[in-house]
Amino acid sequence: MAEPNFAPGLEGVAATHSSISNIDGVAGLLSYRGFAIADLVAYSSFEEVALLLLDGVLPSAADLGEFDRGLRTHRQVKYNVREIMKYMPVTGHPMDMLHCAVASLGMFYPQQELSDAERENTLHLDAMAMRIIARMPTIVAMWEQMRFGNDPIPPSPDLSHAANFLYMISGREPDPAFAKILDSCLILHAEHTINASTFSVLVTGSTLTNPYHVIGGAIGTLAGPLHGGANQKVIEMLEEIGSVQRVGAYLDERMANKDKIWGFGHRVYKTRDPRAAILKDMMEDLASHGHLRHSRLFEIAIEMERQATERLGPKGIHANVDFYSGVLYHEMGIKADLFTPIFAMARSAGWLAHWREQLADNRIFRPTQVYTGEQRQHYVPVAQRS
Ligand code: ACO
């Protein structure tokens, strides 16, 4: 029998057909449903982008209003989920908490599998997706309060998705400029073709399990430092560098040890990730208008990008989205271990759009392997083994 093709990391292997988003890794372009990411950041909102990703078209004002009202209505999380969270170690990483809490939601809305009729009912799937997108920020914010011994701050139905999250983690209605920054970040992180966590959505979803398992698996996949977890690593790296003057020496040491530079490199982009460019411009703009300070870490980040690009750019390795998102959140006063959960809150929209797309034309994922083990071994009973 011919040996199957093997592509490490599935590089270049198309795992699905999809009409949700598209990357041109050479030109450095990203679009959702054909709309350039820069236009969506400039003119849209996370709520509209989530619906665009799920349904494939820009919604009418009435449909967007209905979706937005639904999100606001479904922000509340059951008291029993809070009880489960009470017993989680406060020193645990918020991504671990989010993974457990989202999976636990499935037990309160039990649906072990989807019937054929449900799978074909896009309204039903949209409603399930909306409930998950609505509740993830509440769960993250509840944890942010509970781990410091505070009572969770109930969601406000009067605020947008982004503003409400900032309100729940701080207890104060946010500066509208900050709410707009977070909204833009949520848009930039909402979707990104078949990355590792979205691929996990396709695999898990293809078994017809419930969406809480699907999203729980994706959260676990996103948590790793090679994927979404890199945004926290970037801030830790910049803190470790400590000053603009130390950037060169830090790079020398990392590169001599063949260690990776966090927030750099991408499987698909061979140029600068367009999201990194938008985030950096946004920070410059906000700083020039007095909304953000130009902190030491931001200055180190700029120098780091300059020097790392000089060295790694010729190999096609440039700053990715995680490089500046962490710096931006840091400037907004958000704790570093919340960066990846915020990424997950945003990406839930893209994940659920892919889940819907997968269900519309489902076939269970079952790849093959190149077997490298022994063939016919002779079994020796344990008493006779030396
Ligand atoms: N710093 C230094 N060298 C790098 C980096 C980096 N950040 N990224 C890739 N390289 C080098 C590798 O050492 C390797 O060099 P070699 O050919 O001399 O051995 C070459 O580039 C290819 O690297 P791979 O790891 O094989 O590339 P792959 O496509 O498998 O991985 C990944 C992509 C995981 C993003 C990688 O670039 C990386 O680890 N980056 C750092 C972590 C990070 O920022 N992740 C966030 C990605 S964006 C996101 O998920 C939201």
Over residues 157-190, the pLDDT tens digits come to: 999 999 999 999 999 999 998 999 999 999 999 9
What distances in angstroms separate CA 355 from CA 24, 164, 223, one per listed residue?
23, 26, 19
From the alpha carbon of 316, which atom of ligand 1 is closest? 21
Question: How many Å apart are CA 312 and CA 293, to the nearest integer?
Answer: 29
How far is 192 from 227, CA to CA, in rounded Å? 12
- Residues serving a catalytic function are 266, 322
Would you report the helix, strand and coil content of the chain in percent, each value rounded to 5? Answer: 60, 5, 35
CA atoms within 13 A on the CB side of 258: 0
Residue range 273-294: mean pLDDT, rounded: 86
CB atoms near residue 319 (< 10 Å): 28
Reference 93, options 320, 335, 331, 262; nearest CA is 335
- Compute the distance from residue 52 Cα to the ligand 1 centre, in Å: 31
What residues flank ligand 1, with Cβ below 6 Å? Answer: 9, 195, 226-228, 230, 260-267, 312, 315, 317, 320-322
Query: Is the per-residue pLDDT at 111 higher than 80?
Result: no
**CB atoms < 10 A from the CB of 13, how many?**
11
Q: How far is CA 365 from the centre of its chain?
A: 22
Ligand 1: distance of its center to the CA of 242 in Å? 23
Contact 68, 51 (CB under 8 A): no
Burial per residue of 291-308, b for 16 or more beta-carbon CB atoms within 10 angstroms, e otherwise: bbeeeebbebbbbbbebb
What does DSSP assign to residue 200?
A: H
> How many CA atoms, within 13 angstroms, populate the side-chain half-sphere of residue 237?
28
The answer to whether the predicted template modeling score (pTM) of the entire model surpasses 0.90 is yes
304-355 confidence digits (pLDDT tens): 999 999 999 999 999 999 999 999 999 889 999 999 999 999 999 999 999 9
80-102 confidence digits (pLDDT tens): 999 999 999 999 999 999 999 99
CB 269 within 8 A of CB 193: no
- Angle, in degrees to the nearest 10, between helices 122-146 and 79-86: 40
C-beta neighbour count of 346 within 10 angstroms? 29
List phi, psi (to 5°) of 308.
-65, -35
Q: Which amino acid is at 206?
A: S
Q: Whose CA is nearest to atom 3 of ligand 1?
A: 260
CA-nearest residue, atom 1 of ligand 1 = 260
The pLDDT value given to residue 148: 96
Ligand 1 centroid distance, CA of 262 (Å): 9
Pick from 120-129, 245-254, 258-267: least confident: 120-129
Ligand 1 mean position to 268 CA, how many Å? 11
pLDDT at 232: 93
pLDDT attached to residue 114: 67
- Choose among 310, 188, 199: nearest CA to 247: 310
* CA separation for the pair 325, 204 (Å, rounded): 28
Contact 166, 182 (CB under 8 A): yes
Tens digits of residue pLDDT in 34-61: 999 999 999 999 999 999 999 999 999 9
- Ligand 1, atom 29, lies closest to the CA of 267
Task: Say if residues 130 and 71 touch (Cβ distance below 8 Å).
Answer: yes
